[in-house]
Amino acid sequence: MDIEELPKSIIKSELKRKGLQVRDLVELLKPLDEELIDSSFNNKMSRGGFSAVFFMKCMKALEVKNLKIED
């Protein structure tokens, strides 16, 4: 997998693993000062180039405690 696609893939995997939709994550991100709507979140994901801070906010919102990068 391309390293640039990895953060997007991790977020999508965590959403699927927790049985959540994009709209759920958008709501979970609000207390972390991310005022997004579904379409703006999807735009960020499709561009793929978002900050490490945004990625970490997603992980915090999804309550990810441990992250395995490779097998």
Residue extents of the structural domains in the chain: 3-61
Q: What is the pLDDT of residue 1?
A: 64
Mean pLDDT of 61-66: 95
Give the closest residue to 10 by CA, choosing from 56, 41, 53. Answer: 56
Mean pLDDT of 48-68: 92
| Segment 8-57, tens digit of pLDDT | 999 999 999 999 999 999 999 999 999 999 999 999 888 867 899 999 99
Instruction: Examine the pLDDT at 65 and tell me if it is beyond 90.
Output: yes
Mean pLDDT of 55-62: 97
Burial of 13 (0-12, 13-18, 19+ CB in 10 A): exposed
Q: What is the pLDDT of residue 52?
A: 93
